[in-house]
Amino acid sequence: MKRVVAQGTFDILHPGHVHYLREARSMGDELHVIVARSGNVTHKSGPVIPDQQRVEMVSALEPVDEARLGHPDDIFVPIEEIEPELIVLGHDQHHEDSVIEDELNARGIDCKVTRATKHEAAYDGGIMSSRQIADRIIDRRS
């Protein structure tokens, strides 16, 4: 059984998230999703949806076999627990593949890292990021 890990903030779910998780799931038999803790999101504005609610939403998605909250101090702890064969990063995630691979090797974790493809939207106005959705809500409600 090939275990795959995907990870992200998943603040306001949108079609890009669904595309990412479907693609990650297609690369293995089991998809485990690590949802970033609010306190660990430092590369962008923190999420507006509370941690446990984001985990609950991701858990409800069809491609996901298990979703869990990330570790508060060490992002590799859940990976060590899950023991995946593959980590699939989103096409635009800020992580450096080589840095993750180096840390996996240093910890003796035999796991490959790849990237999901970008979801090409066929919708009016394209796919919006969680931040763009939040900004649109603010604009329309002001």
Q: What are the structural domain ranges in the chain?
A: 3-141
CA separation for the pair 13, 43 (Å, rounded): 18
- Among residues 105, 78, 80, 100, which one has the least CA distance to residue 89? 100
- Neighbouring CB atoms inside 10 A of 43's CB total 10
Question: What is the pTM assigned to this prediction?
Answer: 0.88
pLDDT beyond 80 at 142: yes
Digit-coded pLDDT (tens) for 81-96: 999 999 999 887 777 8
112-115 and 86-89 as β-strands: parallel, antiparallel, unpaired?
Answer: parallel
Q: What is the CATH number of domain 3-141?
A: 3.40.50.620
Higher pLDDT, 93 or 112: 112
Give the residue among 57, 85, 60, 80 at the shortest CA–CA distance from 70.
Answer: 80
**Is residue 62 within a helix (H) or strand (E), and if so which, with residue range?**
none
